[in-house]
Amino acid sequence: MLLWLLLLALGPAGVRPDWLSIDLQRYAYEGDRVVVRCSGEDNGKIRRLMYYKDGSRIATYSSASSYTISNARPSDSGSYYCKTDRQKFLFIDVTEESSSRRLTVQELFPAPSLTVSSLHPIEENSVTLSCDTRLPSDRSWTQLQYSLFRDGHTIKSQSSSNFWTLALWKEDSGNYWCEAMTASRSVSKRSRQSNIQVHRIPVSGALLETQPQGGQAVEGKMLVFVCSVAEGTGETTFSWHRADTGESLGSKSQRSRRSELEIPDVRESHAGGYYCTAENTHSPIRSEVLNITVKIPASHPVLTISAPEAQAFIGDTVELHCEDKRAHPPVLYSFYHNNVSLGNISVPSGGRASFSLSLTREHFGNYSCEADNGLGAQRSEEVALNVTDPPPKTRLVNGAHRCEGRVEVQQAGRWGTVCDDGWDMKDVAVVCRELGCGAAKHTPAGMLYPPMAEETQPVFIQVALCNGTEEALAECEQVETFDCEHDEDAGAVCEDV
Ligand SMILES: *[C@@H]1O[C@H](CO)[C@@H](O)[C@H](O)[C@H]1NC(C)=O
Ligand SMILES: *[C@@H]1O[C@H](CO)[C@@H](O)[C@H](O)[C@H]1NC(C)=O
Ligand SMILES: *[C@@H]1O[C@H](CO)[C@@H](O)[C@H](O)[C@H]1NC(C)=O
Ligand SMILES: *[C@@H]1O[C@H](CO)[C@@H](O)[C@H](O)[C@H]1NC(C)=O
Ligand SMILES: *[C@@H]1O[C@H](CO)[C@@H](O)[C@H](O)[C@H]1NC(C)=O
Ligand SMILES: *[C@@H]1O[C@H](CO)[C@@H](O)[C@H](O)[C@H]1NC(C)=O
């Protein structure tokens, strides 16, 4: 017995197969943390601990320690065991070896496959892409994130959905692949590449239209040119041109089958033919020519009244003229007196309208006119017209006051005399009434009011045949002069002074 103990203590082969044990799970999944733990009966005796995999040393520790595979890979599968140098007695060490354990690291999920609904889609049509893989049933709770790439660029990153619906443009053609990755990023796998070629439909059926429709532009207003194509996909370059010179008004590139160009302030010079072009490949197409007509709205009509100094007399006839030289015909002109409509005149050729008025006292006031060609009525400035009683055509000269003297009458701006042939109280009554001088008093000779009329002054009336009720001498029947001289000139005296 003692001998046996001694042999055990001193003998070189004091190895005990079960002194060092190994603890290792049998199966793991990629990305798992796997711990290989070797321990002795008395870890304090461990001088050196070495871990082996498939016969190769993978780690060495100077004391008891476990070996950790933080992110397991299938390549970590293999047979693991440990060796240790154990202090046996004072300076005598023995080497112990554990049994070996096999670890199998399984794939968590296979590389995903990218499924594309069409590898030759038509531009703008939606394409669905899905990134498919599967998890083992005992790891079905693992969160996966999916990313989509094209030619090295990330198109969609880390979404929890493995499904994308995209409207692709021609520029989006290329090699696509997807990636599935665990939320902890411990395992990620890529699909194979799929080449997607997006097909562009060339433009056709270019059409130029306007707003307002039919190329009806109005000076000073906005005109919008609309260029559209019946078919075509992708980025299209639209441009607008004058048909006569080919001059470009502008161009726009957009992913649309329709584009607009605004002319904010139309001028008369914008009238003419226009066309637009559209291009999405290398062959531009052209629309038909659209004629633009520019209508000029009524603006600032001018009212004039045929009365010198805006002064007219009761009984006169005046003409009102309203003029809007530029307004696009036909123009409806309306005349107003103190904002009350007097009449409307439609002028097919535009230009100008005239309205005549036979004046009464009520026509005193302010006049204006309006021009309207359907593009907005415009009112002129107001023009005042003073309507007064006509100045007397009869006067008494050289008397003591205005109601007595030699009788003079005015014709065509000249003052002449009245012959006293048949001159009586009825005639004087009319003269006195006309002058507002009351009733007739005498029928004196004109000679009584010197000086006599000049030789050059005409005699206008030979005989006045008034019945006495006339308002003015001019209303009385008269006999044209044939032989009267100024020594026969008539005079008048009225009752008022
Ligand atoms: C456009 O105007 C031009 C001349 O002004 C005329 O010859 C042509 O017929 C017009 N085109 C259309 C479509 O009205
Ligand atoms: C007529 O109407 C305009 C505005 O509508 C006003 O400015 C003007 O004073 C009016 N004139 C008269 C005489 O009423
Ligand atoms: C002129 O036209 C206006 C509007 O159309 C109307 O109100 C007015 O009565 C017309 N004037 C006359 C004198 O007919
Ligand atoms: C005419 O217009 C003037 C100012 O524009 C105003 O002072 C005057 O009262 C108006 N006359 C009438 C009759 O409305
Ligand atoms: C109208 O004319 C008369 C006579 O000339 C003058 O006395 C009056 O002041 C004028 N009225 C206006 C509003 O101009
Ligand atoms: C007087 O003459 C005026 C104008 O000619 C006429 O209107 C009127 O009836 C006459 N009166 C008599 C009483 O003859």
C-alpha 414 chain-centroid distance: 70
User: What DSSP element (H or E) covers 131?
Assistant: strand 126-132
Q: Is the dihedral of CA 199, 165, 115, 151 positive or negative?
A: positive
Q: Measured in angstroms, how far is the CA atom of residue 339 from the centroid of ligand 4?
A: 11
Verify whether ligand 2 is closer than 6 Å to residue 68 (CB atom). Answer: no
Structure tokens at 184: 């902890």
pLDDT tens sequence across 329-372: 999 999 999 999 999 999 999 889 999 999 999 999 999 999 99
Superfamily of domain 113-196 in CATH is Immunoglobulins (2.60.40.10)
Beta carbons of 481 and 462 less than 8 angstroms apart: yes
Q: Is the dihedral of CA 209, 211, 216, 220 positive or negative?
A: negative
Verify whether ligand 3 is closer than 6 Å to residue 339 (CB atom). Answer: no
* pLDDT range class, residue 7, cuts 50, 70, 90: very low
Verify whether ligand 3 is closer than 6 Å to residue 344 (CB atom). Answer: yes
pLDDT tens sequence across 65-104: 999 999 999 999 999 999 998 888 777 888 999 999 999 9
Q: Quick one: pLDDT at residue 480? A: 80
Beta carbons of 286 and 271 less than 8 angstroms apart: no
Q: Is the pLDDT of residue 8 over 80?
A: no
Residue to mutate, 288, 291, 292, 294, ligand 1, most ligand atoms under 8 Å from C-beta: 291
Q: Measured in angstroms, how far is the CA atom of residue 339 from the centroid of ligand 2?
A: 6
Q: Span 133-146, mean pLDDT?
A: 96
Q: Quick one: pLDDT at residue 158? A: 85
Q: Is the pLDDT of residue 18 over 90?
A: no
Q: What is the CATH number of domain 394-494?
A: 3.10.250.10
60-98: burial string, b at 16+ Cβ within 10 Å, e else: ebeebbbbebeebeeebbbebbbbbbbebeeeebbebbb
Q: Is 333 exposed, middle or buried (0-12, 13-18, 19+ CB in 10 A)?
A: buried
Q: Is the pLDDT of residue 3 over 70?
A: no
Domain ranges of the chain: 15-106, 113-196, 207-295, 302-388, 394-494
Ligand 4: lining residues by beta carbon, under 6 Å: 338, 365-366, 382, 384
CA distance 50 to 64: 10
Q: Which ligand is nearest to the CA of 386?
A: 5
Q: Quick one: pLDDT at residue 14? A: 61
Q: Is the pLDDT of residue 127 over 80?
A: yes
Q: Measured in angstroms, how far is the CA atom of residue 386 from the centroid of ligand 5?
A: 6
Verify whether ligand 3 is closer than 6 Å to residue 346 (CB atom). Answer: no
Beta carbons of 178 and 158 less than 8 angstroms apart: no
Q: At which residue do the structure tokens 């006119």 appear?
A: 369
Ligand 3 atom 12 nearest Cα: 343
Verify whether ligand 6 is closer than 6 Å to residue 470 (CB atom). Answer: yes
How far CA 386 is from CA of 13, 342, 359, 391, in Å, comes to 147, 17, 10, 14
Structure tokens at 66: 């476990």
Q: What is the CATH number of domain 15-106?
A: 2.60.40.10
Q: Is the pLDDT of residue 489 over 60?
A: yes
CA distance 392 to 430: 12
Q: Is the pLDDT of residue 11 over 80?
A: no
pLDDT tens sequence across 287-302: 999 999 999 998 889 9
Verify whether ligand 5 is closer than 6 Å to residue 366 (CB atom). Answer: no
pLDDT tens sequence across 370-419: 999 988 899 999 999 999 888 778 999 999 999 999 999 998 889 999 99
CA distance 261 to 354: 43
Q: Which ligand is nearest to the CA of 476?
A: 6
- Least confident residue range of 18-32, 126-140, 383-397, 422-436: 383-397
Fold (topology level) of 302-388: Immunoglobulin-like (2.60.40)
Q: Quick one: pLDDT at residue 366? A: 96
Q: Is the pLDDT of residue 481 over 90?
A: no
Atom of ligand 4 nearest to the CA of 384: 1
Q: Measured in angstroms, how far is the CA atom of residue 291 from the centroid of ligand 1?
A: 6
Q: Which amino acid is at 475?
A: E
**Percent of the chain residues past pLDDT 90, beyond the cut:** 81
Q: Quick one: pLDDT at residue 365? A: 95
CA distance 60 to 254: 67
* pLDDT range class, residue 274, cuts 50, 70, 90: very high
Verify whether ligand 3 is closer than 6 Å to residue 341 (CB atom). Answer: yes
Q: Are strands 311-313 and 383-388 parallel, antiparallel or unpaired?
A: parallel
Atom of ligand 4 nearest to the CA of 364: 13
Q: At which residue do the structure tokens 């070495």 appear?
A: 50
Average pLDDT value over all residues in the chain:
92
Q: Quick one: pLDDT at residue 282? A: 84
Q: Span 161-170, mean pLDDT?
A: 94
Structurally, at CATH architecture level, domain 207-295 sits in: Sandwich (2.60)
Contacts of 373 (CB under 8 A, 6+ apart): 295, 297, 298, 327, 328, 329, 330, 331, 332, 350
pTM here?
Answer: 0.62
* pLDDT range class, residue 189, cuts 50, 70, 90: very high
CA distance 216 to 267: 12
Q: At which residue do the structure tokens 């309203």 appear?
A: 322
CA distance 484 to 417: 10
How far CA 387 is from CA of 394, 434, 474, in Å, comes to 20, 19, 21
Q: Span 42-54, mean pLDDT?
A: 92
Atom of ligand 6 nearest to the CA of 477: 5
Atom of ligand 2 nearest to the CA of 339: 1
Ligand 5 atom 3 nearest Cα: 388
Q: Span 194-206, mean pLDDT?
A: 96
pLDDT tens sequence across 210-227: 999 999 999 999 999 999
Same fold, 113-196 and 394-494: no
Q: Span 482-496, mean pLDDT?
A: 92
Ligand 5 atom 10 nearest Cα: 386
Verify whether ligand 6 is closer than 6 Å to residue 126 (CB atom). Answer: no
